[in-house]
């Protein structure tokens, strides 16, 4: 049976405040903090912020602690693949001077890393593509610049999937990232290095991105937290393929987002407040003012729980974890429903998402590649409505078909708006399976995934991303259980458009009363 995550002494927040000597982690001796009585390995931003502001620890000491941990452990995980330790040390010294002057900023002196796909001035941005090798960005992406302005100390960049287009984390530039819970398994993708760095206790905060669960799947696989913001809430300028100009436009038409990853909901909220808001090109005309969460107690939430999808099964252990959570919420007084006539057609949402994302991904291909695509599409029956059929057809969408898809997205947003008049959040799996063994077959169409002993197409795993992405809804993912093998199981908490604070508030209440982050057991490494 899945085990409920008890908050208590098992959660990172409590553990970070426990006063005792540093102990061995992952079977190795980490670098010692200059304050040995403080447990810093898994300290969250809130705890570190208190220590820094009280001058009980310095930013320099935090950086050295994080660097020591990365150097001791990352040869086996391979999460932090671009290291900028010397510049980080200089920034930490500047942060210490600012703290001494009495300055206080949300992330002043806090060490963190960011996904490799974000431009950081002076560092390489490759997206794991050989064509990006040796290219360096000249300026920071907007979210990175905002994190720095808030005082964050960027230690480097974390590994990712090739072209940020896989639910695994490997590429020809940086190699493979392993899951801290089981080194033979993937940490997920495409923000897999970020999730692994959090689970391994390197840093308390990460910056990732999401188009088809690239935040949500790694978070679920590694037992951490992430927030996929409402579309266009966080500017994406500077989150672009190597050698691309940093344009103030979203080339994904609002399908892709940038968002924070952490080990607590409070840290997600802090980071979101820092990175959200209009780009400087729009800031003169627009101001961000997110509405307050709908409720302040779990018993007041109206919850729709889903654990099945018409196009792909969900592993029984994940269904059981969601059932257990739903039953607990009902006992806690919340209004819990298992179905609703207001729910949009999940199969059609998946098809819509697939054809739009696959069309976007085909942009820029050489003309000759489309001849092969046309030949493959010619073999399909006209009435073939499978996800694979839509994957094959997608690159050939005409502009009229793309506009029809945009109209379908608008209708979908209206349907979700109607549902959120009756419900406050929707709970569902982030993914159909827990972290699975590495599978690096070059063609993703050739891969399969095992779900309760049955084989299914690997690329059908997209389905749970397709609830929130096409309508642009916010979604928070957090851990709520573990499989029989001890692997993390997460829940996806979808909220109303632009009401990001509602799923975040629900997650924070759930974290407090039901369970949160738990460290990977030492035996895994």
Residues with catalytic annotation? 115, 190, 214
- DSSP for 414-473 reads HHHHHHHHH-SEEEE-SSSSS--B----S-GGG-EEEETTEEEEGGGGGGGGGTTTTTT-
Q: CB of 471 within 8 A of CB of 416?
A: yes
Q: Is the peptide bond before 512 cis (omega within 30 degrees of 0)?
A: no
CA atoms of 112 and 4, how far apart (whole Å): 29
Query: Which residues are CB-contacts of 13 (< 8 A; sequence separation ≥ 6)?
Result: 44, 46, 47, 264, 516
Category of 433 on φ-ψ map: left (φ > 0), alpha (ψ -120 to 50) or beta: beta
How large is the angle between the packed helices 45-53 and 59-77, nearest 10 degrees?
A: 150
Q: How far is CA 345 from CA 227, 352, 393, 411, 461, in A?
A: 24, 11, 21, 11, 17
Strands 205-210 and 111-115: parallel
Q: CB of 303 within 8 A of CB of 427?
A: yes
CA atoms of 249 and 284, how far apart (whole Å): 16
Helix, coil or strand: residue 392:
helix
CA atoms of 85 and 87, how far apart (whole Å): 6
- DSSP for 210-266 reads ESSSTTHHHHHHHT-EEEEPSTTSS--TT-S-TT----SS-TTTTS-EEEEEESSHH
CA atoms of 483 and 486, how far apart (whole Å): 5
Count of residues making up the chain: 525
The residue to which tokens 């499978």 are assigned = 386
Q: CB of 476 within 8 A of CB of 257?
A: no
Output the six-digit token pair for 346: 């999940």
Helix, coil or strand: residue 132:
helix
Helix, coil or strand: residue 20:
coil
List the end-to-end C-alpha distance of the chain, in Å, as a whole number.
24
């Amino acid at each position: 049976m899945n085990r409920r995550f008890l908050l208590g002494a098992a959660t990172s927040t409590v553990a970070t405040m426990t006063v005792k000597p540093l102990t061995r982690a992952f079977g190795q001796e980490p670098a010692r903090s200059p304050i040995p009585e403080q447990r810093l390995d898994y300290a969250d931003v809130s705890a570190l912020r208190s220590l820094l502001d009280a001058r009980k620890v310095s930013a320099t000491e935090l950086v050295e602690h994080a660097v020591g941990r990365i150097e001791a452990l990352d040869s086996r995980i391979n999460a932090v693949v671009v290291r900028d330790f010397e510049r980080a040390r200089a920034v930490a010294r500047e942060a210490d001077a600012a703290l001494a002057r009495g300055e206080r900023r949300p992330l002043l002196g806090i060490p963190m890393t960011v996904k490799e796909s974000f431009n950081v001035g002076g560092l390489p941005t490759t997206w794991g593509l050989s064509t990006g090798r040796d290219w360096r960005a000249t300026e920071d992406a907007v979210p990175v610049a905002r994190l720095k302005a808030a005082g964050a100390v960027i230690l480097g960049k974390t590994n990712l999937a090739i072209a940020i287009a896989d639910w695994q984390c490997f590429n020809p530039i940086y190699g493979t990232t392993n899951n801290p819970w089981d080194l033979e398994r993937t940490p997920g993708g495409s923000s897999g290095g970020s999730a692994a760095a959090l689970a391994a206790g390197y840093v308390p905060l990460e910056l990732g991105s999401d188009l088809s669960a690239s935040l949500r799947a790694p978070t679920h696989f590694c037992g951490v937290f992430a927030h996929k913001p409402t579309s266009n809430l966080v500017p994406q300028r500077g989150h672009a393929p190597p050698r691309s100009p940093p344009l103030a436009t979203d080339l994904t038409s609002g399908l892709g987002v940038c968002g924070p990853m952490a080990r607590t909901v409070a840290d997600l909220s802090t980071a979101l407040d820092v990175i959200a808001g209009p780009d400087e090109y729009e800031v003169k005309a627009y101001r961000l003012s997110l509405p307050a969460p709908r409720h302040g107690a779990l018993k007041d939430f109206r919850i729709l729980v889903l654990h099945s999808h018409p196009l792909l099964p969900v592993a029984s252990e994940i269904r059981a974890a969601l059932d257990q959570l739903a039953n607990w919420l009902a006992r806690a007084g919340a209004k819990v429903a298992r179905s609703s006539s207001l729910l949009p057609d999940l199969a059609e949402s998946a098809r819509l998402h697939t054809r739009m994302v696959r069309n976007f991904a085909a942009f820029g291909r050489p003309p000759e590649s489309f001849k092969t695509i046309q030949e493959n599409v010619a073999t399909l029956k006209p009435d073939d409505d499978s996800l694979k059929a839509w994957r094959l057809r997608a690159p050939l969408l005409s502009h009229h078909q793309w506009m029809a898809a945009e109209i379908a997205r608008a209708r979908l947003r209206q349907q979700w708006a109607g549902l959120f008049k009756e419900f406050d959040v929707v709970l569902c799996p982030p993914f159909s399976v827990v972290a699975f063994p590495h599978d690096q077959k070059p063609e993703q169409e050739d891969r399969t995934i095992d779900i309760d002993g049955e084989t299914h197409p690997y690329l059908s795993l997209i389905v749970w991303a397709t609830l929130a992405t096409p309508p642009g809804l916010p979604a928070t993912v957090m851990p709520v259980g573990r499989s029989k093998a001890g692997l993390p199981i997460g829940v996806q908490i979808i909220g109303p458009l632009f009401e990001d604070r509602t799923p975040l508030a629900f997650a924070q209440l759930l974290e407090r009363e039901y369970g949160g982050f738990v460290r990977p057991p030492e035996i895994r490494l």
